[in-house]
């Protein structure tokens, strides 16, 4: 028995469990708030466990695509030929890493939302729907379903932010949703064009990838539509200058949504660039990657610079996300093995550390109802654990060795230097700016004399500790021993067309 057999159902389950949970929650009466929480916690645990399994069971030396599952959906109808639309789920090294990220963040977010009282049933329904979309996108090997899940992941955000958010939530929610959907519009056009141009009558991604490589998708076509795909996905990845939903959206979003959004959803964008950009249109990628590199560098420096003078803690993280996703884009744009691997590492790393940051911000905001740094000071006295957790997240953010941020950024820098030394230098400079804004936050919020106003702040609850502890474990794991990650990622990256070693 080969490894693959039977494993596809694990992938399916990982995607389906959140959906089943959402459906179950529909049936639970809204007044049973504790039941809602228990169901969600169990779902989170299952999903997390399954995703860990997927990550662990992925065989580095095995075939590129593992744990496949194929169900024919629609075929041999009208323009659809054989395998027209199939529910084709599988993982490769990149998506197994992303699955792990999603599982951990999903569980952490589910626990972190325990405190929600107001219509928590609806909240969790939307939350699990969103996560099903995220998992689905990571696992989809079919363009139709890729896009399907991509949209599914964006859809619930409006309500999640609009109903449970804070601080200009309507504006933030509307802007975020519209910009993200605006991005997916471009992808959509790209999907049509690709299907038409390939003329294979199938949305099967491997076949389309093959078409992209053997020239069935003509170079002109690829050069025309690559920017569309990349900008479309790039909006979700906070590609400069399409990033402005990030600060505002994160500012408005409730804790768990910020965690999942910054932690996982933004990665969908970068993942899309790999799947629909690099893999689908290698010629276009070769032609346009310098441009992406420039935008990535601008984003990295710009985000870090703008974060330097923000006062709202979430805004700082919002801008720092722009900066860090800028690194991801740079890593992808290097088109060499180390750089692209670094980009995926950074996707994971930024996911967990940002989730941790937002978890921490949420923990204090729930009590203090303000996130303005100037309001705080000396919080360490009352919330030492909070400070430690936040510090770890912050230091990971800064790219401190021993934490995941360094591992990822380091690979990206190395990759970038191979082709674009000047940009690499600028990126490293941006990393130094990160120290600037992070330490500024530490200095203002954690340290200094404490205002008596905050004397009754409570430290992290047990659930928040659990949630944060998982994230910290991931951060440290990748920061200290990154071989499990790089092995998986590079096994997939090696096979990306156009990626040099």
Residues 67-96 that bind other proteins (CB under 8 A): 73-74, 77-80, 85
Q: Which lies closer to other proteins via its Cβ, residue 50 or residue 238?
A: 238
Placement of tokens 């993982």 in the chain: 91
Task: Find the shortest distance in angstroms from Cβ 173 to other proteins.
Answer: 8
Task: Find the shortest distance in angstroms from Cβ 383 to other proteins.
Answer: 13
Residue 364's nearest CA partner among 395, 393, 392, 386 is 386
| CA pair distance 233, 189, nearest whole angstrom | 12
DSSP 8-state assignment for residue 372:
B
Residues 337-356 touching other proteins, rule: CB under 8 A, are 337-338, 341
Q: Which lies closer to other proteins via its Cβ, residue 27 or residue 483?
A: 483
Q: Which lies closer to other proteins via its Cβ, residue 41 or residue 180?
A: 180
Q: Which lies closer to other proteins via its Cβ, residue 48 or residue 94?
A: 94
Element (DSSP H or E) covering residue 66: strand 66-74
Task: Find the shortest distance in angstroms from Cβ 172 to other proteins.
Answer: 11
Angle at 315 between CA 432 and CA 479, to 5 degrees: 45
Element (DSSP H or E) covering residue 246: helix 245-252
Q: Which lies closer to other proteins via its Cβ, residue 435 or residue 457?
A: 435
Task: Find the shortest distance in angstroms from Cβ 5 to other proteins.
Answer: 26
Task: Determine contact, residues 364/383, Cβ cutoff 8 Å.
Answer: yes
Residues 244-283 touching other proteins, rule: CB under 8 A, are 244-245, 247-248
Q: Which lies closer to other proteins via its Cβ, residue 41 or residue 160?
A: 160
Task: Using CA atoms of 290, 292, 295, 296 in order, give the dihedral in degrees to the nearest 10.
Answer: -100
Residue count at the site for other proteins (CB under 8 A)? 97
Sketch the per residue contact string, 430 through 459, with other proteins: x for CB under 8 A, - otherwise. -xx--xx--xx-xx--xxxxx---------
Residues 405-434 touching other proteins, rule: CB under 8 A, are 406, 410-411, 413-414, 417-418, 421, 424-425, 428-429, 431-432
Residues 186-205 touching other proteins, rule: CB under 8 A, are 188-189, 191-193, 195-196
Task: Find the shortest distance in angstroms from Cβ 152 to other proteins.
Answer: 4
| CA pair distance 464, 380, nearest whole angstrom | 17
Q: Which lies closer to other proteins via its Cβ, residue 115 or residue 440?
A: 440
| CA pair distance 47, 50, nearest whole angstrom | 5
Who's near 138: CB < 8 A, 6+ residues apart?
Answer: 91, 95, 98, 99, 102, 268, 271
Backbone angles phi, psi at 66, to 5 degrees: -125, 165
Q: Which of 346, 380, 467, 474 binds other proteins (CB under 8 A)?
A: 380
Task: Give the binding range for other proteins (CB under 8 A) out of 143-151, 260-268, 269-277, 366-374.
Answer: 143-151
Residue 397's nearest CA partner among 435, 359, 361 is 435
Who's near 312: CB < 8 A, 6+ residues apart?
Answer: 167, 251, 371, 372, 373
Q: Which lies closer to other proteins via its Cβ, residue 41 or residue 125?
A: 125
| CA pair distance 166, 248, nearest whole angstrom | 11
Residue 198 is encoded by which pair of tokens? 């390939």
Task: Determine contact, residues 404/398, Cβ cutoff 8 Å.
Answer: no
Residues 148-187 touching other proteins, rule: CB under 8 A, are 148-149, 151-152, 155, 158-159, 162-163, 169-170, 174-175, 177-179, 181-182, 185
Task: Determine contact, residues 57/28, Cβ cutoff 8 Å.
Answer: no
Residue 64: which region, alpha, beta or left (left: phi > 0; alpha: psi -120 to 50)?
alpha
Sketch the per residue contact string, 479 through 498, with other proteins: x for CB under 8 A, - otherwise. --xxx--xx-xx--xx----
Q: Which lies closer to other proteins via its Cβ, residue 49 or residue 497?
A: 497
Q: Does 51 bind other proteins (CB under 8 A)?
A: no
Peptide bond into 283 cis (omega under 30): no
3-state helix, strand, coil in the chain (%, to 5): 75, 5, 20
Task: Find the shortest distance in angstroms from Cβ 351 to other proteins.
Answer: 20
Residues 120-139 touching other proteins, rule: CB under 8 A, are 133
Task: Find the shortest distance in angstroms from Cβ 481 to other proteins.
Answer: 8
Q: Does 230 bind other proteins (CB under 8 A)?
A: no
| CA pair distance 156, 18, nearest whole angstrom | 14
Task: Find the shortest distance in angstroms from Cβ 300 to other proteins.
Answer: 12
| CA pair distance 439, 453, nearest whole angstrom | 23
Q: Which lies closer to other proteins via its Cβ, residue 41 or residue 478?
A: 478
Task: Find the shortest distance in angstroms from Cβ 19 to other proteins.
Answer: 9
Residue 194's nearest CA partner among 166, 221, 171, 160 is 221
Task: Find the shortest distance in angstroms from Cβ 292 to other proteins.
Answer: 18
Task: Find the shortest distance in angstroms from Cβ 249 to other proteins.
Answer: 11
Task: Find the shortest distance in angstroms from Cβ 382 to other proteins.
Answer: 13
């Amino acid at each position: 028995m080969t490894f693959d057999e039977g494993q596809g159902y694990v992938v399916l389950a990982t995607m389906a469990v959140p959906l089943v949970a959402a459906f179950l929650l529909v049936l639970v009466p809204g007044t049973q708030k504790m039941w809602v929480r228990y169901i969600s916690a169990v779902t989170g645990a299952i999903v997390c466990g399954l995703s860990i399994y997927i990550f662990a069971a992925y065989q580095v030396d095995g075939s590129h695509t593992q744990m496949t599952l194929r169900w024919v959906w629609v075929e041999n109808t009208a323009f659809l030929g054989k395998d027209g639309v199939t529910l084709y789920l599988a993982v490769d090294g990149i998506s197994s890493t992303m699955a792990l990220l999603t599982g951990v963040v999903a569980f952490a977010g589910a626990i972190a939302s325990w405190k929600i009282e107001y219509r928590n049933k609806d909240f969790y329904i939307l939350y699990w729907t969103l996560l099903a979309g995220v998992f689905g996108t990571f696992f989809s090997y079919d363009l139709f379903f890729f896009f399907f899940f991509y949209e599914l992941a964006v859809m619930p955000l409006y309500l999640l932010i609009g109903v449970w958010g804070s601080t200009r939530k309507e504006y933030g929610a509307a802007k975020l949703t519209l910009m993200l959907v605006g991005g997916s519009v471009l992808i959509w056009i790209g999907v049509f064009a690709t299907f038409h141009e390939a003329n294979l009558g199938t949305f099967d991604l491997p076949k389309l990838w093959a078409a992209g490589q053997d020239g069935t998708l003509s170079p002109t076509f690829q050069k025309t539509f690559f920017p569309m795909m990349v900008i479309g996905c790039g909006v979700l990845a906070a590609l400069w200058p399409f990033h402005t939903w990030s600060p505002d959206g994160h500012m408005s979003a409730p804790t768990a949504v910020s965690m999942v959004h910054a932690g996982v959803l933004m990665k969908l964008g970068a993942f899309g660039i790999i799947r629909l950009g690099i893999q689908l249109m290698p010629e276009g990628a070769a032609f346009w990657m310098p441009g992406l590199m420039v935008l990535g560098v601008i984003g990295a420096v710009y985000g870090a610079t703008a974060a330097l003078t923000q006062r709202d803690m979430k805004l700082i993280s919002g801008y720092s996300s722009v900066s860090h996703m800028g690194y991801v884009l740079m890593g992808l744009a290097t088109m060499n093995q180390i750089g692209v691997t670094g980009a995926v590492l950074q996707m994971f790393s930024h996911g967990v550390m940002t989730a941790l940051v937002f978890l921490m911000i949420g923990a204090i905001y729930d009590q203090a109802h303000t996130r303005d740094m100037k309001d705080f000071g000396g919080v360490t006295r009352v919330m030492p654990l909070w400070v430690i957790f936040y510090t770890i997240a912050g230091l990971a953010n800064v790219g401190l060795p021993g934490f995941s941020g360094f591992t990822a950024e380091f690979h990206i820098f190395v990759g970038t230097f191979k082709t674009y030394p000047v940009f690499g230098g600028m990126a490293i400079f941006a990393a130094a700016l990160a120290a600037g804004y992070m330490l500024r936050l530490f200095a203002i919020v954690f340290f200094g004399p404490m205002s008596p106003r905050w004397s009754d702040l409570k430290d992290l609850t047990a659930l928040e500790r659990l949630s944060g502890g998982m994230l910290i474990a991931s951060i440290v794991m990748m920061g200290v021993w990154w071989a499990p990650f790089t092995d998986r990622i590079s096994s997939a990256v090696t096979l990306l067309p156009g990626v040099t070693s």
